[in-house]
Amino acid sequence: SFKPSKSRSMVLKRGKVVDKFRFSISGTKSNKELGDWLTKVDKSGLPGRFKAWLYQHSILARVLWPLLVYAVPMKTVESLERKISGFLRKWLGLPSSLTSAAMYGTSNVLQLPFSGFTEEFMLVRTREVLQYRDSRDCKVSSAGIEVKTGRKWKAGKVVEVAESRLRQKALVGTMATGRAGLANQSLWEADFHRVRFLVQAVYDALPSPANLHVWGKSETPSCLLCSGRSSLEHLLSSCPKALADGRYRWRHDQHQPVPFIKAGEKPWAPSDWQLQVNLGKQLRFPQHISTTSLRPDMIVTSEVSKQLIMLELTVPWEERIEEANERKRAKYQELVEECRERGWRTFYEPIEVGCIGFAGRSLCKVMYCGKTLTSIS
């Protein structure tokens, strides 16, 4: 094995030895440089989100390059990522218990615009394997060059697994998936406290009475309004006292309706669309369509074409969005069938916006409804 203290490097430029570049082995120098750069950024006086921006767009590439020159084990790379994660948590005001998977995951419910150092190292190493193997130079491709990354993780095996998954995907076909996250522009422009609250809410790291009790900072985890365990889910969607006092109803009414027609655009034919919104429980369902005590949150009608759109907004806990959708569909099923029997082309869709702020898939369906009003069946 190589020992950095006993290793030497020499750079020649136009036949002369220059001391401009110095390389390192096993990340010895890179580890020190990374700490110096992070410390300088930390003391720069910039807002936390801009410090994180400097890491993503400057420090990451500078630290990654020296590790690609030599065979650096994965253990060294992971130690560097732990140091980076500590500074990012500090700059963004996140709890130290937040895992790296939550910060760098690409398939999470909430995705942050940061690249994990370990993942970037893996990506570059796998690209290196493909460059050697698929090189146009037959001497390079037939040389059997092995990219060494230690015993814990091997780039060659990862490439084989990825290629086998691609072959399987070609047989199975592409499946539709959805993502929700914070884009780069959203994070840099958003209020710091809102971003911090959102991340902590997603990973249940907010100082709720239940969490404070677990952390040893509160004697009881009970809710101040009722005797239940005051977890984040309880506070946002399950407290019976808050429900009876109308607190959840107030939050429900704060969600503003989205117009079907953009500013400056002309409405589609027919032009007699009428919009009614149930604010303060004042909405009455049109009696000439059906006699019912139900009050959808939003009704859009066209008397000329006899078309009816009913929308029902729900603000459930994120993990119960599908359950809320099924419950609302069952509630209005009889009314929808009755309207259709009377000759009205009826479209009904529940809309779910979670307590933390993530919207269900039904919202996209409703947004698209504005473009297909004439084809509702």
Is a pLDDT exceeding 70 seen at residue 82? Answer: yes
Same domain, yes or no: 10 and 145 = yes
Which CATH number goes with the domain that contains 355?
3.30.70
User: Which percentage of the chain shows pLDDT scores above 70?
Assistant: 79
Containing structural domain, residue 304: 274-375
Is a pLDDT exceeding 60 seen at residue 32? Answer: yes
User: Quick check: 370 and 260 in contact, CB under 8 A?
Assistant: yes
129 falls within a domain: yes
SS3 call for 175: coil
Contacts of 47 (CB under 8 A, 6+ apart): 192
Q: What is the mean pLDDT of residues 187-213?
A: 80
What pLDDT score was predicted for residue 375? 45
SS3 call for 3: coil
A 10 A CB-CB count for 349 gives: 17
User: Quick check: 349 and 362 in contact, CB under 8 A?
Assistant: yes
Residue ending a domain, among 137, 172, 207, is 172
CA–CA separation, 311 vs 353, rounded Å?
13
Lowest mean pLDDT among 31-45, 131-145, 253-267, 330-344: 253-267
Greater model confidence, 174 or 228 = 228
pLDDT one-digit tens code per residue, 61-80: 888 777 777 677 788 888 88
What pLDDT score was predicted for residue 5? 57
Is a pLDDT exceeding 60 seen at residue 216? Answer: yes
Q: What is the mean pLDDT of residues 356-372?
A: 73
243 falls within a domain: no
What's the predicted TM-score (pTM) here? 0.54
Q: Over the Cα atoms of the chain, what is R_g? A: 29
Same domain, yes or no: 22 and 160 = yes
- Amino acid at residue number 281: K
227 falls within a domain: no
Greater model confidence, 129 or 32 = 129
Is a pLDDT exceeding 70 seen at residue 323? Answer: yes
Is a pLDDT exceeding 70 seen at residue 44? Answer: yes
339 falls within a domain: yes
What pLDDT score was predicted for residue 182? 54
Greater model confidence, 373 or 354 = 354
208 falls within a domain: no
The structure tokens listed for 174 are 């592409």
Same domain, yes or no: 8 and 143 = yes
Of 347, 342, 277, 271, which Cα lies nearest the Cα of 304? 271
362 falls within a domain: yes
A 10 A CB-CB count for 92 gives: 20
Same domain, yes or no: 20 and 168 = yes
What pLDDT score was predicted for residue 136? 85
| Look-up of token digits 């490097």 | 9
Is a pLDDT exceeding 50 seen at residue 274? Answer: yes
182 falls within a domain: no
User: Which percentage of the chain shows pLDDT scores above 90?
Assistant: 4
Lowest mean pLDDT among 9-23, 145-159, 198-212, 285-299: 9-23
Residue ending a domain, among 121, 137, 172, is 172
Is a pLDDT exceeding 70 seen at residue 303? Answer: yes
Residue ending a domain, among 153, 172, 191, is 172
Same domain, yes or no: 26 and 160 = yes
What pLDDT score was predicted for residue 187? 59
Same domain, yes or no: 157 and 12 = yes
Mean pLDDT, rounded, of the chain: 78
Same domain, yes or no: 139 and 284 = no
Same domain, yes or no: 286 and 145 = no
What pLDDT score was predicted for residue 269? 54
Is a pLDDT exceeding 60 seen at residue 268? Answer: no
Count the domains in the chain.
Answer: 2
pLDDT one-digit tens code per residue, 101-151: 888 887 777 788 888 888 888 888 888 888 888 888 888 888 888 887 777
Lowest mean pLDDT among 8-12, 97-101, 134-138, 319-323: 8-12
Residue 371: which pLDDT band, with cuts at 50, 70 and 90? low
Q: How far, in whole angstroms, is CA 275 from its chain's centroid? A: 33
User: Quick check: 94 and 203 in contact, CB under 8 A?
Assistant: no
61 falls within a domain: yes
